[in-house]
């Protein structure tokens, strides 16, 4: 990598890779923020509806057994809602994690392929240099041989 343009190209590719990583991270944060906002809103609305329904049932309940029944129903719904919310968040995070891992693997594969190609190019150029050096050595040996034959005659 003695050529300055090769160095510039490598730095440029590294910069592009870092830019892609930053863009992916930004997209992930935006996606997570939107998901959290939407899910929070959905969950709060659900709980408000359930609380309103429980208040309506409290107005029509009969005695302590009715009050306890409404309370138990409200607690059951609360636990179901929180469990459902947790499951949705876990599923979403699993999906985001999977997408990020796939993206990271793809970027790593692209970078590896680019580095492999650069190494192959460098090896090819090195082989060409060695071949030229061998040819020059052959010419020099031939010239030396010719000079020796001339001096002997």
What are the boundaries of each domain within the chain?
Answer: 28-126
What pLDDT was estimated at residue 67?
92
Q: Is 2 helix (H, G, I), strand (E, B) or coil?
A: coil
Q: Which of 91, 72, 93, 85 is nearest to 46 (CA)?
A: 85
pLDDT tens per residue, range 82-101 = 999 999 988 888 887 787 77
**CA distance linking residue 114 with residue 10, whole number of Å:** 10
C-beta neighbour count of 70 within 10 angstroms: 19
**DSSP H stretches of helix in the chain:** 4-60, 63-152
Q: Which of the pair, 36 or 141, is modelled with greater confidence?
A: 36
What is the CA 62 to chain-centroid distance, rounded? 58
pLDDT tens per residue, range 106-139 = 777 777 777 777 778 778 887 787 888 888 888 8
Identify which of 24-28, 50-54, 123-127, 130-134 has the greatest average pLDDT: 50-54
- pTM for this predicted structure: 0.56
């Amino acid at each position: 990598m003695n050529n300055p343009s090769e160095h510039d190209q490598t730095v440029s590719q590294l910069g592009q890779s870092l830019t892609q990583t930053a863009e992916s991270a930004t997209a992930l944060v935006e996606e997570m923020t939107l998901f959290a906002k939407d899910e929070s809103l959905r969950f709060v609305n659900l709980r408000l509806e359930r609380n309103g329904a429980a208040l309506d049932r409290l107005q029509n309940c009969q005695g302590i057994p009715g009050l306890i029944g409404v309370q138990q129903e409200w607690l059951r719904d609360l636990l179901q809602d929180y469990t459902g919310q947790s499951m949705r968040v876990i599923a979403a995070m699993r999906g985001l994690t999977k997408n990020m891992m796939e993206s990271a693997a793809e970027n790593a594969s692209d970078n590896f392929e680019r580095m492999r190609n650069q190494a192959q190019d460098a090896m090819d150029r090195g082989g060409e240099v060695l071949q030229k050096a061998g040819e020059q050595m052959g010419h020099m040996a031939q010239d030396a041989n010719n000079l020796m034959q001339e001096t002997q005659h």
